[in-house]
Amino acid sequence: MDIVSQDRSALVSSLEQLDTRLRWLSSWMIHNATHIRSKRDGLKVGGHQASCASMTAIMSALYFHALRPQDKVAVKPHAGPVLHAIHYLLGEQSLDKMQRFRGLNGVQSYPSRTKDTIPVDFSTGSVGLGVAVTAFSSLVQDYLIAHGQVREEDAGRMIALMGDAELDEGNIYECLIEGYKHDLRNCWWIVDYNRQSLDATTSDRMFRRFDDIFETCGWRVVTLKYGRKQRETFKRPGGKTIEHWIDNCSNADFAVLTYQGGASWRTRLMADIGSKPHVAKLLDDFDDDGLAALMTNLGGHCIETLVDAFASADDEKPTLFIAYTVKGHGLPLAGHKDNHSGMMNPTQMEQFRKGLGIAEGEEWEPWGGLGGNAAARLKAFVEASPIARKVKETTVPAVPVPSHLPVPDGDEQSTQAAFGRVLLDLAKSGEPLADRIVTTAPDVTQTTNLGAFVNQRGLFRRQELADVFQNAKIPSAQKWSQHAAGQHIELGIAENNFFIMLASLGLAGPHFGTRLIPVGTVYDPFISRGLDALNYGCYQDARFLLVGTPSGITLAPEGGAHQSINTPLIGMGQPNLTYFEPAYADELTAMMHWSFDHLQQEDGGSVYLRLSTRSITQVARDDDSWKADALRGGYWLRRPADGAQAAIVFTGVIAPEALAAWEDLVDDIPGLGLLNVTSPDLLHRGWSARRAARWSEHAGAPSHAETLLSVLAPGAGLVTVLDGSPSALSWLGGVRGMRVSPLGVDRFGQTGDLPDLYRTYRLDANAIVDATAELFLGE
């Protein structure tokens, strides 16, 4: 053997051993949690031994060989235990956490950036999203390279290890289209093509369709269908016939025979092709176990095939690897259609252990059953592998936030226009913060007032593209020249992409060691379109400023389909996202200023601003005393007298109606208060945190909601009103036991002008006056 083939066979043998170790450790971790660890609640713990076994060879070849230190990987959710086993072998995962798989502070069910302690590049769990995020992160990397913040030679590959059922998620195809438009590169998606989803074997009709779809979108498709043993057998007399038979075998038939094993393979092959030349003789050369091994020697389980395939894609072209696999490969679960949540029983597990030569009691030994020399060799191999040199995430210094942002001028303003103006002023300011802002929108840049910022800072595109309209001197307010220094990433209309883009931009700090301040705008109702992706970004603690505008029924003539009703509840219910809804331009400016800082704080988070296109008369301010309270969730726009019997509580754009009603009523209800709730979210969170703290920590100071409302008489009445679901504010009655008359929108779908709609949906001053009267009428 020459040195090259000697090295290669040593490499293959090490990776094969690691494949086995990963299969064992992932199975054992799940088995331990299910069958051995004591249970207190009678609930199933769960885990996916078959999904793990399907991928261990792929992950062995990738992590211990093909991966480079700067590459980042999203691991399909149900192979999480394999990722932990890899880090266990590296000495980066503790036995304690492995033993507490799916327990509190143990290994999480699915890889989690925030909850797991091993390096997790991307959280996964909601299938499809963890795949697409790699493409968007690759675009972010290109953005940073173009802006001189990452060196081209440090560019990593963004890799998704995905289940084949993830190919059914629509967001995959939305992402493909967007990726193609942006000239995606440095992205690998490796499909664990076991042709089984959760419920069933997958449709045969998709065979080769995926190749077409991906190739159309500029991807290279590398199919790893046969393992080396199969390829060699196909070259022997009768081999072509077997190859042809495999190619025509349905997914379901293949799975059944895999589950049944060697004897069934033989019977079936003999029945179908036994009379064809040389086939019977060829089959005779294999005993039953050998035949089963041959038939399931698919590309995704063959280390050599995997190593060669990964090596073949050594340029930056996005590449889809379709690695044929068997779900549950190497386990008694292999091929069974119900194996998704299937578990090996203790007897099967024991057989598995014995087969590997692992002594009882040594199940957790990283190198158990290997023997001294082999163990030392494999350990040294792992320590020298690229994953051991993985680039570590670091905390990145904050980008300085200017001491204040100028408030846009104008007696009449909308929060949406003011938002555009604040960004424009920042774009012109030369502040370092402005250089780090990246804006993005799903085809609503102009209508959400990002246009002025984009005119100043340009659209991002790796290859320059002139604005043809501008060159032709056709007048337009929008200058859309595209170049590498541009700071706006224009997306197609798919909101899911938009949220995954925000998540990727918002991870620039931990991923690439340099911060970006992502600002994304979307029509408020279409937040729902990307809701799971929004949750996904927040779950990973990605940091971004989300602007939902216009919102509510206040966009009036634009119609019922565009009205957003429940977004305040989304803002309140979404962890790691602080929701503000300003009424006035100065509030909005203060919130943006606060956000730029909050996005960068260690214990900060993302921010959602719910804005409007309705211009309203701005309030005169004597001083800035309102501001601190506004940033805590609310302030008295008209302070009530001590012990007042009632207050009007409003949020956002409905301010003029609330003020008018207050003016109408203040003579009749002396001391009537007018509370501007700038963030129902902060108020509610502060209140419920205080209640919880009473039992777990020191009681602490009263929450902001309690403090604000404590001015009123016990048992006073509140009218709450906002252009959104009334329940966003009506809970305030519970803070100090007050009666509430809640106004808001709980129906939608009607066009109209504002007076008509505000009257119809009871948001006008009359409705507020009536609701206040009702507080005093009793039932």
Ligand X SMILES: Cc1ncc(C[n+]2csc(CCOP(=O)(O)OP(=O)(O)O)c2C)c(N)n1
Is residue 163 within the footprint of ligand X (CB under 6 A)?
yes
Residue 48 or residue 87: which is nearer to ligand X going by CB?
48
Residue from the set 71, 142, 178, 192 that interacts with ligand X by CB under 6 A? 192
CB of 335 to ligand X, least distance (A): 12
Tokens of 232: 């060699």
Beta carbon nearer to Mg ion, 340 or 511: 340
For residue 413, the Cα-to-chain-centroid distance in whole angstroms is: 35
Residue of closest CB approach to ligand X: 163
Residue (196 or 487) nearer to Mg ion, CB: 196
Which stretch of DSSP H or E encloses residue 651? Answer: strand 646-651
Closest to 140 measured CA to CA, from 448, 602, 480, 500 = 500
Q: Which is nearer to Mg ion, 157 or 327 (CB)?
A: 327
**Identified binder of ligand X from the candidate list 49, 197, 439, 578, rule CB under 6 A:** 197
Minimum Å gap between C-beta 42 and ligand X is: 23
**Footprint of Mg ion on residues 155-184 (CB under 5 A)?**
163-165
Quote the strand ranges of 202-255, DSSP E.
220-224
Q: Which is nearer to Mg ion, 90 or 333 (CB)?
A: 333
Please count the residues of this chain forming the interface with Mg ion, following the rule CB under 5 A: 5
Minimum gap (Å) between residue 448 Cβ and ligand X: 28
Q: How far is the CB of 191 from Mg ion (least distance, A)?
A: 9
The item of Mg ion, ligand X, none sharing an interface with residue 127, based on CB under 5 to 8 Å by kind, is ligand X
What DSSP element (H or E) covers 720?
A: strand 717-722
CA-based angle 177:183:189, to the nearest 5? 65
Q: Whole-number minimum distance, CB 196 to Mg ion, in Å?
A: 5
Binding mask 418-457 for ligand X (x = CB under 6 A): ----------------------------------------
Residue 162 Cβ vs Mg ion, minimum distance, rounded to whole Å = 9
User: Cβ 197 to Mg ion, closest distance in Å?
Assistant: 6
What radius of gyration do the chain's Cα atoms show?
A: 31
Q: Which of 361, 342, 376, 381 is nearest to 27 (CA)?
A: 342
In the bound state with ligand X, the residue whose beta carbon lies nearer, of 193 and 584, is: 193
Judged by beta carbon distances under 5 to 8 A according to partner kind, the member of Mg ion, ligand X, none in contact with residue 328 is none
* HEC assignment per residue over 306-368: HHHHHHHCCCCCCEEEEEECCCCCCCCCCCCCCCCCCCCCHHHHHHHHHHCCCCCCCCCCCCC
Quote the least distance from Cβ 167 to ligand X, whole Å: 8
Strands (E) across 217-335 are located at: 220-224, 319-324
Distance CA(111)–CA(120), nearest Å, equals: 6
The span of 187-195, 234-242, 466-474, 569-577 binding Mg ion (CB under 5 A) equals: 187-195
Under rule CB under 6 A, residue 126 binds ligand X: yes
Candidates 58-66, 160-168, 433-441, 565-573: pick the segment binding ligand X (CB under 6 A): 160-168
Q: Are 566 and 722 in contact (CB under 8 A)?
A: no
- Residues numbered 40 to 59 that lie near ligand X (CB under 6 A) are 48, 51, 54
The whole-angstrom separation of Cα 73 and Cα 121 is: 6
Q: Which of 21, 31, 72, 78 binds ligand X (CB under 6 A)?
A: 78
> Which one of the spans 27-35, 195-203, 501-509, 537-545 is the region binding ligand X (CB under 6 A)?
195-203
Least distance to Mg ion, CB of residue 128, Å? 13
Q: How far is the CB of 166 from ligand X (least distance, A)?
A: 5
Residue 127 CB, shortest distance to ligand X, in Å, is 4
Q: Bridge partners of 72?
A: 158
Tell me whether the omega of the peptide bond preceding residue 550 falls within 30 degrees of 0, making it cis.
yes
- Contact between 164 and ligand X per CB under 6 A: yes
> Binding of ligand X at residue 87 (CB under 6 A)?
no
Q: Which CB sits closer to ligand X, 43 or 561?
A: 43
198 touches ligand X (CB under 6 A): yes
Applying CB under 5 A, which of residues 20, 112, 123, 196 lies at the interface with Mg ion?
196
Contacting residues for 199 by C-beta, under 8 A, at least 6 apart: 340
Residue 162: strand pairing partners: 191
CA distances 737 to 229, 701, 741, Å, are: 75, 19, 13
- Strand duo 319-324 + 187-193: pairing: parallel
The CA dihedral of 373, 377, 379, 380, to the nearest 10 degrees, is: 140
Among 368, 538, 390, 112, smallest CA distance to 101 is for: 112
User: Which of ligand X, Mg ion, none interacts with 78 (beta carbon under 5 to 8 A by kind)?
Assistant: ligand X
Nearer to ligand X, 197 or 564 (CB): 197
Cβ atoms < 10 Å from Cβ of 188: 25
Q: Provide the minimum distance between the beta carbon of 128 and ligand X in the complex, in angstroms, as a whole number.
A: 6
d(Cα 386, Cα 69) in Å, to the nearest integer? 6
Stretch that binds ligand X, among 194-202, 465-473, 535-543, 693-701 (CB under 6 A): 194-202
Window contacting ligand X (CB under 6 A); options: 76-84, 536-544, 602-610, 655-663: 76-84
Residue (55 or 669) nearer to ligand X, CB: 55
Which C-beta is closer to Mg ion: that of 198 or that of 692?
198
Q: Which of 166, 363, 587, 723 binds ligand X (CB under 6 A)?
A: 166
Q: Rounded to the nearest whole angstrom, what is the least distance from the CB of residue 195 to ligand X in the complex?
A: 8
Residue 126 partner contact from Mg ion, ligand X, none using kind-dependent CB cut-offs of 5 to 8 Å: ligand X
User: Whole-number minimum distance, CB 335 to Mg ion, in Å?
Assistant: 12
Contacts 24+ apart (CB under 8 A), 636-639: 636/673, 636/674, 636/675, 636/676, 636/708, 636/711, 637/674, 637/675, 637/676, 638/662, 638/666, 638/672, 638/673, 638/674, 639/673, 639/711
Tokens standing for residue 317: 């072209």
- Residue among 254 and 579 whose Cβ is closer to ligand X: 254
Among 30, 132, 165, 378, binds ligand X (CB under 6 A): 165
Say how many residues make up the chain: 779
| Contact call for residue 196 and ligand X (CB under 6 A) | yes
- Residue 650 tokens read as 């409003």
Which residue, 211 or 532, has its beta carbon nearer to ligand X? 532
Q: Which one-letter amino acid corresponds to residue 740? A: V
| Residue number with CB closer to ligand X (210 or 635) | 210
Q: Which stretches does DSSP call E strand in 144-301?
A: 158-163, 187-193, 220-224
Q: Which of 87, 182, 266, 327 binds ligand X (CB under 6 A)?
A: 327
Closer to Mg ion by Cβ: residue 323 or 630: 323
Q: Count of residues binding ligand X (CB under 6 A)?
A: 19
Residue 589 touches which member of ligand X, Mg ion, none, C-beta under 5-8 Å by kind: none
Two structure tokens written together for 25: 């450790």
Q: Report CA-CA distances (Å) from 194 to 126, 202, 204, 310, 625.
A: 19, 9, 12, 19, 63
d(CA 417, CA 547): 12
Q: Which residues bind Mg ion (CB under 5 A)?
A: 163-165, 194, 196
Q: Which residues bind ligand X (CB under 6 A)?
A: 48, 51, 54, 76-78, 126-127, 163-166, 192, 194, 196-198, 327, 340
